[in-house]
Structure 1
Amino acid sequence: METLHKKTLVIGASPKPVRYSNKAIRMLREYGHEVVALAKRAAQVEDVNIQTELPENEKVHTVTMYLTATRQPEYYNLLLKLKPKRVIFNPGAENRELNEKLEAAGIETVEGCTLVMLRTGQF
């Protein structure tokens, strides 16, 4: 188990167990991380509520992105305002434009798989 727990925002969360965002929520919880989940429709994954809006003044360490680049622009301002330590672009979510905006704001970006990062101790 990790000793340093990182509050993580999952963008593109899904209640469907076959979706990688769902697997990430469950694995983040398994590793002891607090999870905030965001999607277009409210739902539930185990003990995590999927919200349609992020609460004001929410503080997160890591954002893990599960939306394709074409669905991400509406989250640009939210991410810049949130100022997480890092944003993980999971496979299929890579976005050069957002990547550049985040790095210009001093936010670390990672192209990787949250599930693999958790399992290999790189999270």
Structure 2
Amino acid sequence: MEKKKTLVLGASLNPARYSNLAINRLVKYKQPTVALGLKKGNVGGVDIVTEKEEFQDINTITLYLNAKRQEEYYDYIISLHPERVIFNPGTENPELYRLLRENNIDFENACTLIMLGTNQY
């Protein structure tokens, strides 16, 4: 599987949360992973930061925030120039789709966990 540096946006320390599962699965599949969430901590060896850091070489942003919570991150997402954004179930957002299109950033409505498990990542 090709290495695609991924930002998990909406990362959680709670092991029952899908963002937490996604971090662990990304690590398992040896994908370079960074994470941004509300609380600092570490999941699967990945530090969760709480500030909008200027991460370099982000290929994929996988979203675990609902549409309303995404609004404060629009400019941040675009500033990272990812190749794609994955809208996991429950994160669909036509307003952000439009902004991504305007900035030539690909996006898809998909589940990161399933994509990894079926070698479609």
Structure 1 segments, 4+ long, off by >6 Å, are none
**Structure 2: gaps spanning 5 or more residues:** none
Give the SS at the match of 1:32. Answer: coil
Q: How big is the shift at 1:57?
A: 5.0
TM-score (structure 2 length as normaliser) = 0.96
Q: Which residue of 1 aligns with 2:65?
A: 67
Counterpart selection for 1:106 from 104, 110, 113:
104
Q: Which residue of 2 aligns with 1:28?
A: 26
Q: Which residue of 1 aligns with 2:7?
A: 9
CA distance 1:28–1:80, change in 2 (3 Å): same
Question: C-alpha offsets along residues 20-52 of structure 1, whole Å, 9 cap, x if unaligned?
Answer: 000000000000101100012211102000001
Q: How big is the shift at 1:53?
A: 1.7
Counterpart selection for 1:83 from 81, 84, 106:
81
Counterpart selection for 2:95 from 88, 94, 97:
97
Using the aligned pairs only, state the percent identity: 48
Q: Which residue of 2 aligns with 1:56?
A: 54
**Structure 1: gaps spanning 5 or more residues:** none
Q: How big is the shift at 1:54?
A: 3.5
Q: How many pairs does the alignment contain?
A: 121
TM-score (structure 1 length as normaliser) = 0.94
Contact 2:27 2:44 in 1 (8 A): no
